[in-house]
Amino acid sequence: SYAATRYLLELGHRRIAFLSGPPAAPWARERFEGYRRALRESNIEVDDRLVFKAGCAMEDGAKAALQMLEESCDATAVQAVNDPVALGCATTFLEKGLRIPENISIVGFGNTHVGEFFRVPITTVREPKFRIGLAAMEILAQLQRGERVEPKRIPCELIVRASAAPPL
């Protein structure tokens, strides 16, 4: 999420909305923190009016997009907690006549195949799922041996597609 937000900042966006996931989910909290850290490092305060509760599904992204439009938050970009939320958001924006990325940029997280083949291919963050699985197995083996385990961070990769561009 940090890399996705940094990318939008590098494109020139300063009003970046964040569509958050379930507050109890550690992965959703970490992605929100990545968004916040990228803004802080660019000396941009987190504006609570740009943070929308979105959940995990396409329907959640669509509802968050409608809320964004109703509240006229003037965001030039959206960082979504995952690709389904980004796709729901993008679908709603397109249905309402917005053009992606000309009117608003969108970045997801997860690199789902649907995002690659969406009407406007979605820029996203690819998680190294195989490496995550290996790390999980290593941690499981350590736990079974009664060893103390430390959390592991595995780097992700930003996949740039057509859904993000500099603001007009």
Q: Which pLDDT tens digits describe the chain residue by residue (168 residues)?
A: 999 999 999 999 999 999 999 999 999 999 999 999 999 999 999 999 999 999 999 999 999 999 999 999 999 999 999 999 999 999 999 999 999 999 999 999 999 999 999 999 999 999 998 998 999 999 999 999 999 998 888 889 999 999 999 999
**pLDDT of 156:** 92
pTM equals 0.91
The contacts of residue 108 (CB under 8 Å, 6+ apart) are: 4, 80, 82, 83, 85, 86, 87, 115, 122, 123, 124, 125
**pLDDT of 151:** 82
Q: For 71-80, b where at least 16 C-beta lie within 10 A, e where not — what string?
A: eeeebbbbbb
**pLDDT of 50:** 98
Other CB atoms within a 10 A radius of the CB of residue 67 amount to: 16
Do the bridges between strand 124-126 and strand 157-159 make them parallel or antiparallel, or are there none, so unpaired? antiparallel
Are 65 and 88 contacting, i.e. CB atoms less than 8 angstroms apart? yes
For 147, phi then psi, to 5°, come to -85, 155
Q: What is each CA distance from 53 to 40, 57, 130, 134, in whole angstroms?
A: 21, 12, 30, 32
Rounded CA separation 55/63 (Å): 10
